[in-house]
C-alpha cells in the first residue's frame, strides 16, 4: 500500500488525457495509512499467535489452507483503502465494504470487473486509490502465494503451496527448487512490466497511466484509468502493443523462460502454445468475416475490423478484459464466440485465468480415446502431448473432475443469480407493468450467465448489463458477494477454495 502513497501528490497524479491534479489527496492518504496500520496489526497478531504453537512442517493439506485463507485475508485487507478513503461508486454514492471487497478481489484475481462508474473524477476516486486498484493486479499477477514462496521460501512446503495456487496441470521444464522456479517467474513478470511501462511512455502515456496499464496488461487484469478503458486513448499503436504483451502474458512462463535460454523453437514447438495461437487466429478470422458481413460497429473497413476483432479476441482469450469497442453490439456469432472464449483462457503457468488451454487439449484427447474404446474396447491408446506421454491416471481424473466442478459451479451460481437478483437491475419497475416493454428483462438469463462466466473465468466484462461499456454497479450486494467468491475460485486452484467449506478438511487426522 505504501507504493500508492506518492500518487496522492500532484507531481505524479498526472494522466495523459486529463488535467493534472491541483492538490494533495488527503482522503486517499488517510485511507491508505489507516489500511496499512490495520494490516500491520493483523500481521502482528497472527505472528504472535503463530509463535505460541509448536513448529511443525507444512504438508499438502496445510498448504491448501494457507492458499485459500491468505486469499480471503488479502481480499478483506485489500478492500480497506477503497472503503476508508471514501471512494464513491459515482458522485454522492459511497462504496460499501462488500463493494470494496469486490473491487479488491477483482484486482487480486486479475479479473478486472469493476463497480466504479467514474474513474476520471479525483473527488470520486483519488489517484492514489486508482493506483492501488491497479497495483492489486501486479500483486495478483503471479499470485500472492507464489511471490511469498519466491521471496521468503518455505522449504519442502514451497512446492505444495505453488501447486495449490497456480491453476493448470504441471508441464515440462519445472526446475529442481520451487523457490528458484518462483523467482524465475517473478523476474520475467517484473521485467515484462518494466519493458511495457517504458514502451507505453514512449508511445505517449504519462508515468501514472503507463504503470497502471502495464500492470493491467501483464497481469491480464484489465483495470484502466479511463471510463472507456484502453479505448480512451484511441491509438492503434497502443492497442497493437497491448495485443503483443497480452499474448505474452497468456503464455506459460516456463515456456517463456525456456525460449529465452533455448531459442524460439521451444515456444513454437509447444502443443499448448500452438493451440493457443490457433484459437486466437481462428476466432479472429470468424469474427472478422461475420463482422464485415453484418457491417457491425467497428468493422467499417477490413483493417479497422481486424484491429477491433483481434484486440477483443486476445483480450477475452487471455482474460484481460480491456475494451476498445462495444462488442455487445456485434452480431450473434461474434458475441457467442467471445462467450465461448471465456471458458478457454490462457496457458497453464501464465497470468491468464480461465480453464487453461492445456486442460482443453487433454479433455478432448480423453474424450476421443473414450469414444474409440466404445467400439474398440481392446485398443491401447496412449494420450500424448507433443513427444511426451500424459497418461498419469490421477492427472487425467483431475481434468475430468475439474470440468465437472466448473460446470456445476457455473450452473449453481447462474441459477442463484437468475432466481434472487432483483428485476430492477434490468430497469424493470414492479410498480409500473408497462415498464417491462422498455426494459431488458427478457435478457436476464443471458446476462446472468455472462456475468457468472466473466467472473468465474476472470474476464471482467461480459454481455448485456455487464457489457464492454457497462459494469457491475447495478447488481445487488448479495450478487456482488457471490461474484467475489467466483473470482477467487477462478483465480486460485479451485480445490484450494472449495476445501475450506468441508468440515472434514479441518479435522485432525
pLDDT of 442-485, one tens digit each?
Answer: 688 889 999 999 999 999 999 888 988 889 999 999 999 999 99
Q: What is the 3-state secondary structure (H, E, C) of 406-427?
A: HHHHHHHHHHHHHHHCCHHHHC
Are residues 58 and 66 in contact, defined by beta-carbon separation less than 8 angstroms? yes
Closest by CA to 133, choosing from 102, 167, 97, 171, is 102
DSSP 228-243: TGGGGT--HHHHHHHH
**How does DSSP classify residue 215?**
H
Residue 153: pLDDT band with limits 50, 70, 90: low
Q: What is the 3-state secondary structure (H, E, C) of 30-81?
A: HHHHHHHHHHHHHHHHHHHHHHCCCCCCCCHHHHHHHHHHHHHHHHHHHHHH
pLDDT of 48-58, one tens digit each?
Answer: 888 866 667 77
Please state whether beta strands 88-90 and 384-385 pair in parallel, antiparallel, or not at all (unpaired).
unpaired
pLDDT of 359-406, one tens digit each?
Answer: 899 899 888 888 988 888 877 777 888 777 777 787 788 888 889 999
- Whether pLDDT at 19 is above 70: yes
Mean of all residue pLDDT scores within the chain? 87
Q: Detail the DSSP E strand segments found in 147-214.
A: none
How many whole angstroms separate alpha carbon 407 and alpha carbon 52?
43
- Whether pLDDT at 278 is above 90: yes
- Whether pLDDT at 317 is above 80: yes
Give the pLDDT confidence score for residue 55 in this predicted structure.
66
How many whole angstroms separate alpha carbon 159 and alpha carbon 149?
9
Place of cell 428483462: 441
Closest by CA to 216, choosing from 141, 116, 153, is 141
Place of cell 462504496: 95
Judged by average pLDDT, the poorest of 34-38, 282-286, 438-442 is: 438-442
DSSP 350-379: SS--SS-HHHHHHHHHHHHHHHHHHH-TT-
| 493-508 average pLDDT score | 81
**How does DSSP classify residue 399?**
H
Give the pLDDT confidence score for residue 145 in this predicted structure.
58
Residue 434: pLDDT band with limits 50, 70, 90: low
- Per-residue b or e along 300-319, where b marks 16 or more CB atoms closer than 10 Å to that residue's CB: eeeeebbbbbbbbbbbbbbb
Give the pLDDT confidence score for residue 388 in this predicted structure.
76
Alpha-carbon separation of residue 458 from 82, 83, 109, 348, 354 (angstroms): 21, 23, 7, 14, 6
Residue 125: pLDDT band with limits 50, 70, 90: very high
How many whole angstroms separate alpha carbon 172 and alpha carbon 167?
15
Q: SS3 of 502, please? A: coil
Residue 437: pLDDT band with limits 50, 70, 90: very low
Judged by average pLDDT, the poorest of 15-19, 247-251, 302-306 is: 15-19
pTM for the model stands at 0.91
State the virtual CA torsion across 380, 384, 389, 393 in degrees, nearest 10.
-70
Q: Which of 211-225, 342-356, 422-436 has maximum average pLDDT? A: 211-225
Residues paired with 94 in a beta bridge? 88
Q: The C-alpha cell of 410 is what?
A: 457455473
**H or E stretch covering 384:** strand 384-385
Contacts of 5 (CB under 8 A, 6+ apart): 29, 32, 33, 128
Judged by average pLDDT, the poorest of 10-24, 51-65, 486-500 is: 51-65
Residue 70: pLDDT band with limits 50, 70, 90: confident
pLDDT greater at residue 85 or residue 184: 85
Give the pLDDT confidence score for residue 308 in this predicted structure.
95
Residues paired with 88 in a beta bridge? 94
Are residues 128 and 111 in contact, defined by beta-carbon separation less than 8 angstroms? no
| CA-CA-CA-CA torsion sign (368, 370, 375, 380) | positive
Closest by CA to 362, choosing from 348, 373, 352, 376, is 348
Q: How many CA atoms lie within 13 A of 406 on its CB side?
A: 27
| 11-23 average pLDDT score | 88
- Whether pLDDT at 8 is above 80: yes
Give the pLDDT confidence score for residue 100 in this predicted structure.
97
How many whole angstroms separate alpha carbon 196 and alpha carbon 240?
12
Q: The C-alpha cell of 76 is what?
A: 478483506
Q: SS3 of 267, please? A: helix
Please state whether beta strands 384-385 and 93-94 pair in parallel, antiparallel, or not at all (unpaired).
unpaired
pLDDT of 160-197, one tens digit each?
Answer: 656 555 555 554 444 446 667 777 888 899 999 999 99
Judged by average pLDDT, the poorest of 163-167, 233-237, 346-350, 357-361 is: 163-167
Amino acid at each position: 500500500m505504501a507504493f500508492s502513497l506518492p500518487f496522492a501528490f500532484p507531481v505524479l497524479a498526472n494522466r495523459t488525457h486529463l488535467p493534472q491534479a491541483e492538490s494533495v489527496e488527503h482522503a486517499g492518504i488517510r485511507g491508505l495509512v489507516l489500511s496499512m496500520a490495520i494490516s500491520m496489526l493483523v500481521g502482528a497478531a497472527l505472528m504472535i499467535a503463530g509463535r505460541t504453537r509448536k513448529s511443525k512442517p507444512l504438508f499438502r493439506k496445510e498448504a491448501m489452507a494457507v492458499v485459500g485463507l491468505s486469499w480471503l485475508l488479502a481480499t478483506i485487507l485489500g478492500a480497506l483503502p477503497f472503503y476508508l478513503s471514501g471512494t464513491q461508486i459515482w458522485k454522492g454514492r459511497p462504496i460499501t465494504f462488500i463493494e470494496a471487497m469486490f473491487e479488491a478481489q477483482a484486482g487480486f484475481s486479475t479479473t478486472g470487473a469493476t463497480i466504479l462508474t467514474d474513474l476520471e473524477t479525483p473527488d470520486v476516486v483519488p489517484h492514489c486509490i486508482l493506483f492501488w486498484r491497479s497495483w492489486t493486479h501486479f500483486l495478483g499477477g503471479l499470485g500472492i502465494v507464489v511471490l511469498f514462496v519466491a521471496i521468503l521460501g518455505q522449504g519442502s512446503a514451497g512446492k505444495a503451496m505453488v501447486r495449490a495456487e497456480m491453476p493448470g496441470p504441471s508441464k515440462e521444464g519445472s526446475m529442481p527448487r520451487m523457490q528458484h522456479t518462483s523467482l524465475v517467474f517473478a523476474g520475467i513478470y517484473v521485467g515484462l512490466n518494466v519493458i511495457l511501462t517504458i514502451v507505453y511512455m514512449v508511445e505517449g502515456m504519462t508515468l501514472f497511466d503507463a504503470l497502471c496499464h502495464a500492470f493491467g496488461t501483464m497481469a491480464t487484469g484489465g483495470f484502466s484509468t479511463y471510463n472507456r478503458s484502453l479505448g480512451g486513448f484511441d491509438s492503434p499503436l497502443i492497442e497493437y502493443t497491448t495485443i503483443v504483451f497480452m499474448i505474452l502474458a497468456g503464455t506459460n512462463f516456463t515456456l517463456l523462460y525456456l525460449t529465452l535460454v533455448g531459442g524460439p523453437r521451444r515456444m513454437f514447438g509447444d502443443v499448448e502454445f500452438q493451440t493457443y495461437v490457433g484459437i486466437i487466429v481462428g476466432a479472429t478470422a470468424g469474427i472478422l468475416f461475420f463482422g464485415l458481413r453484418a457491417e457491425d460497429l467497428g468493422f467499417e473497413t477490413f483493417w479497422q475490423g481486424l484491429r477491433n476483432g483481434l484486440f477483443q479476441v486476445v483480450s477475452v482469450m487471455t482474460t484481460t478484459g480491456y475494451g476498445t469497442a462495444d462488442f455487445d453490439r456485434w452480431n450473434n456469432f461474434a458475441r457467442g464466440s467471445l462467450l465461448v472464449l471465456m471458458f478457454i483462457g490462457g496457458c497453464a503457468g501464465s497470468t491468464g485465468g480461465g480453464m487453461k488451454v492445456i486442460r482443453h487439449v487433454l479433455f478432448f484427447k480423453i474424450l476421443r480415446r473414450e469414444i474409440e474404446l466404445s467400439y474398440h474396447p481392446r485398443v491401447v491408446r496412449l494420450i500424448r502431448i507433443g513427444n511426451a506421454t500424459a497418461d498419469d491416471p490421477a492427472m487425467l481424473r483431475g481434468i475430468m473432475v475439474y470440468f465437472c466442478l466448473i460446470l456445476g459451479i457455473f450452473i449453481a451460481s447462474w441459477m442463484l443469480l437468475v432466481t434472487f437478483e432483483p428485476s430492477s437491475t434490468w430497469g424493470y419497475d414492479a410498480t409500473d407493468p408497462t415498464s417491462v416493454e422498455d426494459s431488458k428483462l427478457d435478457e436476464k438469463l443471458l446476462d446472468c450467465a455472462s456475468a457468472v462466466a466473466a467472473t468465474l473465468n476472470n474476464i471482467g466484462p461480459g454481455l448485456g448489463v455487464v457489457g464492454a461499456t457497462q459494469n457491475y454497479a447495478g447488481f445487488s450486494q448479495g450478487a456482488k458477494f457471490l461474484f467475489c467468491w467466483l473470482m477467487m475460485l477462478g483465480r486460485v486452484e479451485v480445490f484450494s477454495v472449495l476445501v475450506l467449506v468441508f468440515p472434514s478438511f479441518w479435522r485432525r487426522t
